[in-house]
Each structure stands twice: as C-alpha cells, then as structure tokens.
Amino acid sequence: MKAYFITLASSLLLCLSATAQQDAQFSQYMFNGIYINPAYAGYREQLNLSAFYRNQWTGLDGAPQTISFAADATANNERVGLALQLMSDKIGAESNTMAYLNYAYRIPVGDPDKGGRLALGIGAGIVNYQLNGSKLDPNDVADPVLLNQRRSILLPDARAGIYYSNDRIYAGLSVDNILVHYMHPNKDPEHYFPEKKMHAYLTAGGLVPLSESFLLKPSFMWKEDFAGPGSLDLNAFLLIAEKIWIGASYRTAFNVIKKKDLDPALKKPAAFVMLAEIYVAQKLRIGYGYDIPLNQLGDYNYGSHEISLGYFFTPRKARMLTPRYF
C-alpha cells in the first residue's frame, strides 16, 4: 500500500509540473534576502557570495530540486546595491533556469547611529522554461501534444521590492514574475508551457538581546501567488556568540485572498523546519535546513534537505555589524 501511494504522489508531481507553476520553495531565505527581494541588494555593504542547494521531498520520483547562486555588493558610497542571481529549478518533467540583475537605491533613514536604510529595488532578467514530455504519464495528461516532446522557451522577466532595516528590525515587500505572468506562451497548443504565477512576499523581523552572548531573532514571511494556497512562515532563531545560528520555522497555509476550488487539504499545516548556520571562519558560513512535512505527503517521503554556503569580502572599514544579523 505504501508503495502505491509513493507511486501516486510521484505521478502527481509529474502532472503538476505540466499544469501550473509556483516559485521554488526554500527555507534559508532569512540568511540572504536577495532570493526573494531585489531591494536587499547591497544590504550587507560588502561583497557577498552565496549559494544553496535544496532536495525537496526526498524519496519521491520527480520531486523538486533547486540550486542557486547570488552575488551582491554596494557602489556609489553605499547608496546603490547591485546583485546577480542565478537559479535552476527542476520538478518532474519541467526545468527552469533563471538569471537576474538587481538594482537597489538605498536611502539613509533616521538616526545614523542605528544604520537605518530604506531601499527601493528592481530586477530584470531572463527565464528559460523547458518541458520534457517523455517524463509525463500518458494516463494522467489530457493533452497528447505534450507527450514525447521536448520544448524550450526564453522569456524576459522583472521583479520589484522595497526593504527597510536598521540595527534592530527589518521589513520588506516584493513581487516577482511580473512580466512572465503576462506573457501567455500557450496561445498556440503546439507551444504549451506551464503558466508562471506572480508571487508576493511580505517579511519582517527583529533582534531581541538576551545577554552579551545571545540574541533572539523572531521573524515571519507571508508568501502569496494569488492562485494557489498562500503560506506563512513563523521563524525563531538564537545567535550564540555571533558564531552560530540555531532555530526553527513553522510553515502553514495562510490564505488572505479568497480563491475558488482550493483543495481543503492544501489549507493544512505544511512543514516544521529545523535550521542552523555556523560561521566556520570570519568570512565563511555554512547553513543546513531540514523540512519535516506535516501534511499527508509527509508519510511518503523523507523530508527536504537544504545546504547553503556564504562568503563575505569584508571592507577595510566595516561601518556596522547589522549585516551579520539580517
């Protein structure tokens, strides 16, 4: 019986990859906000390189796999943030490759000693969608045109965001898939591709000093794609001696916008996440996250694994420690 459900879930993943798209899921976004908000570019005020790999729902055929690289820095006396982001995402028969250039204009706000900045960010890039019809189950696909064919299309895209931070709090709002959402490459059935949905992200968090060696960082992220189920992440992290982050996240459905025909099963809790990040050297950090599914799919996979790396090129005159925290 268990093998039957594993096969069923795997088939479902393959079918979903040919019908609609959501942004790649990852859990360590709080360690580098550039993945969800272009206005984060230059936030650390140093050259920052980062990469991550996520293997979601281990044990299911066709389960999502995502790899990404990002680099960001400041220019023009720290008034401008610049970032490059590359990402490859695979799920079932579908694979996407994306490249974005991000620009953020950073405005000093409030008391200079608190390092307050309001950043307005935009990003422009290209997205390559690929669909391998040979990986689809003919019994589950209504359109026979999709079967046994490989297709690829290249589309422009844009993203935008706003981000505020000082030495104790941060908040951001961003929207991505702005252009590809309206591109409609499916007018011709011979060129069918899953329709990419616009996504919005709302994030906020802060620092609570507990002692000289311990800082508490609570935060949240609301993610909305205006079609499928929205989600809410509630996060809590503890920074120990400015060397080790340990924490957890609780991810659940959170539907502010009313949607028709939304499966009740999608309104249930999604995952509990355990995370850690260690500064193995002054400029090098390594992070790991493990997602434990809390829905029915959790009975038929071994969770999700995520690894991240970060390297900072510290300037000669470091103005503040805030970038280490957010």
pLDDT in tens, 18-68: 444 678 888 999 999 999 999 999 999 999 999 999 999 888 888 899 999
- Check residue 12 and give its pLDDT: 47
Say yes or no to pLDDT of 231 above 80.
yes
Higher pLDDT residue, 296 or 281? 281
Give the 3-state secondary structure of residue 316. coil
- Check residue 177 and give its pLDDT: 93
Exposure class string for 178-198: b at 16+ Cβ within 10 A, else e? bbbbebebeeeeeebbbbbbb
Residue 39 backbone phi and psi in degrees, to 5: -70, -10
- Check residue 57 and give its pLDDT: 85
Greatest mean pLDDT among 65-79, 261-275, 284-298 lies in 65-79
The per-residue pLDDT for range 164-217, each reduced to its tens digit, is 999 999 999 999 999 987 776 555 555 556 677 899 999 999 999 999 999 999
- Where exactly are the structural domains of the chain? 2-325
CA distance 252 to 187: 35
Say yes or no to pLDDT of 6 above 50.
no
Higher pLDDT residue, 38 or 133? 38
Greatest mean pLDDT among 53-67, 95-109, 268-282, 289-303 lies in 95-109
Cβ atoms of residues 40 and 104 within 8 Å: yes
Cβ atoms of residues 46 and 323 within 8 Å: yes
> Can you say whether residue 303 is alpha, beta or left, with left for phi > 0 and alpha for psi between -120 and 50 degrees?
left
- Check residue 321 and give its pLDDT: 47
pTM above 0.85, yes or no: yes
Residue 257: pLDDT band with limits 50, 70, 90: confident
Cβ atoms of residues 153 and 129 within 8 Å: yes
- Check residue 191 and give its pLDDT: 55
Mean pLDDT across the chain: 84
CA distance 323 to 326: 6
- Tell me which residue of 212, 229, 235 sits closest to 30, measured CA to CA: 235
Say yes or no to pLDDT of 75 above 70.
yes
Residue-by-residue DSSP string for 72-103: EEEETTTTEEEEEEEEEEEETTEEEEEEEEEE
Say yes or no to pLDDT of 123 above 70.
yes
Cβ atoms of residues 159 and 175 within 8 Å: yes
Say yes or no to pLDDT of 239 above 90.
yes
- Check residue 218 and give its pLDDT: 98
- Check residue 5 and give its pLDDT: 41
Give the 3-state secondary structure of residue 280. coil
Q: Which CATH class is domain 2-325?
A: mainly beta
Residue 11: pLDDT band with limits 50, 70, 90: very low
Element (H, E) at 4: helix 2-16
> Can you say whether residue 226 is alpha, beta or left, with left for phi > 0 and alpha for psi between -120 and 50 degrees?
left
Segment among 140-144, 203-207, 319-323 with least mean pLDDT? 319-323
Mean pLDDT of 257-268: 66
- Check residue 15 and give its pLDDT: 44
Any idea what DSSP says for residue 279?
A: E
- Check residue 140 and give its pLDDT: 53
Residue 103: pLDDT band with limits 50, 70, 90: very high
Number of H helices, E strands in the chain: 2, 17
Q: Hey, what's the torsion of the CAs at 218, 290, 314, 122, to 10 degrees?
A: -70
